[in-house]
Structure 1
């Protein structure tokens, strides 16, 4: 694209649109309103063309502001309502989770297999255990009433839940935000979590107390880890979009997937809030192990049903988790 020729060809339209916008508080004729709408649509398309083929910061900044003002004049401003929140939790968020299932379900399976393998390796090799900590420290961690058990009751339940929720939300947020870096930071986050969990499995198994460890981890860990897997899967998908945007332009693909990822960060924060409440109030409670695990299983089953029933239905209806078409910038068609 020849930027000078393109600018010369369309400058008059942009100037006319700006003139109409300056008069928008005055009374425009019907013909002028039609002209304003037509100029807004053309300018939005031209802005999309410039972004994809001839980036010029000054011109793009001018047209971005012009399109934003025209959009406000044409469609008016819209405030978020409870209906938007209801739509997000009943359609957008579960559909986004369902759409990314081919990324986070394999992630969960690989994570689980590696955790089991490393846990068995640690349990079967005393020299590996000694490389992790001194013998007295290992005994303190794995004995009845040791640090693995008292960790969950080390703080008041409300404060502990808030701390856990904040930490897990940060982990999920990092996976989503840094997925754009080809997914490499996401793999690092997963590796760290896998090694920490495998260490607990291996050390407690070596002390013949694996049942106690699982009884403490499963109530909250099922839902918590699923949320982390979803975040990691979305981050990996975002990283792959950088490599292969498909039929969309790379900027358009990243914008669409990035907007969906931001929405998923909000949704996963609520999921992690539930797991944090379970970890703070159920895990250290005096309930029998079977009851605590049953609560965790019910929470996990409820989330999976939410994704694979509600989310599948919403995705089949065309929901992607992205903003509604009316809230997105106009884009030029792209040939497949």
Structure 2
């Protein structure tokens, strides 16, 4: 598309729209208000065409500003309310988790398989264990009251919980943010986490203390890792949209999935806050191992029910996790 010809053909409409927006402080006539709406719709279509066919940064920025001003004039501004937050957590977030299940459930299964295989390999090979640390260090890590056990009581519960939550939120955020890079960084983040967990499994199993390790990691780890899996699955899905955007333009697909991913980052931060609280207060507590694990299992089952019952219903009702239709930028039709 020839941008200069496009600008020449539509400049008069944009200038008229700007003139009407400047006059908005004065009262517009009925005909002028109707004209404002029509010109806003045309400008939104022009912007969509430019973004998909001939992205010119300066022209796109000008039209984006113009369309935003016109949109505000036509539909008015709206402030987020507690009702929006309630709608997000009762429909938007669980629906987004449910819609991406075909990505994060396989991610969880593969991750678990990799951890099991690496853990078994480490536990069964003294040479591998020796490459991880010196024998004295290994004994210090795996002995009763050693590094693996004392880690969970190394700081006051509240401070430890906040530290864990911050770290896990960063991992989930990176998985979501880096997904657009074809998902490759997401795979690297997952591999690092799988290796870290597998080392603990392998070393504690080699010391015949795997039951102790599982009793420490399962109470919080079930929910924590599920949140990481969801973030990673969404990141991988976002990366796939770069390769195959479907019937949408690549830019539109990334915008829609990216907005949903940002919302999921907020929801997952809340989930990780809960898992961090469990890790800070339940894991190092004096409760019996079965009770601590039971708390973790209940939290995990509650989240899965939230996704596969509440989220499924919301998704079937048309919820996608994206912002409301009224808050989205208008798009030009795209041929399938």
Short-chain TM bin: over 0.9
Answer yes or no: is 1:318 the counterpart of 2:318: yes
Answer yes or no: is 1:30 the counterpart of 2:56: no
Q: Distance in 2 between matches of 1:261 and 1:195?
A: 26
Q: Which residue matches 1:69? A: 69
Q: Distance in 2 between matches of 1:296 and 1:46?
A: 52
Q: Distance in 2 between matches of 1:144 and 1:3?
A: 71
Q: Distance in 2 between matches of 1:66 and 1:306?
A: 41
Q: Which residue matches 1:50? A: 50
Residue aligned with 2:25, SS: coil
Deviation string for 1:27-74 (max 9, x for gaps)? 100111000011001110011001111122222111111111101111
Q: Distance in 2 between matches of 1:122 and 1:4?
A: 64
Q: After TM superposition, which residue ranges in structure 1, 4 or more long, deviate above 2 angstroms?
A: none
Q: Distance in 2 between matches of 1:149 and 1:162?
A: 19
Q: Give the Å deviation of 1:180.
A: 0.6
Q: Give the Å deviation of 1:81.
A: 0.3
Deviation string for 1:182-210 (max 9, x for gaps)? 10110000000000000000000011000
Residue aligned with 2:330, SS: coil
Q: Give the Å deviation of 1:147.
A: 0.7
Q: Distance in 2 between matches of 1:325 and 1:165?
A: 33
Q: Which moved more, 1:20-29 or 1:60-69?
A: 60-69
Unmatched segments (≥5 aa) in structure 1: none
What CA RMSD, in Å, does the superposition of the two structures yield over aligned residues? Answer: 0.6
Q: Which residue matches 1:246? A: 246
Query: Please, what TM-score do these two structures have when normalized by structure 1?
Result: 0.99
Q: Give the Å deviation of 1:4.
A: 2.0
Deviation string for 1:204-255 (max 9, x for gaps)? 0011000000000000000000000000000000010100101100000000
Q: Which residue matches 2:207? A: 207
Q: Give the Å deviation of 1:3.
A: 1.7
Q: Distance in 2 between matches of 1:134 and 1:43?
A: 68
Number of aligned residues: 336
Q: Which residue matches 2:10? A: 10
Residue aligned with 2:163, SS: helix
Q: Which residue matches 1:174? A: 174
Q: Distance in 2 between matches of 1:241 and 1:182?
A: 8
What aligned pairs does 1:1-336 form with structure 2 within 5 A after superposition?
1-336=1-336
Q: Give the Å deviation of 1:2.
A: 2.0
Unmatched segments (≥5 aa) in structure 2: none
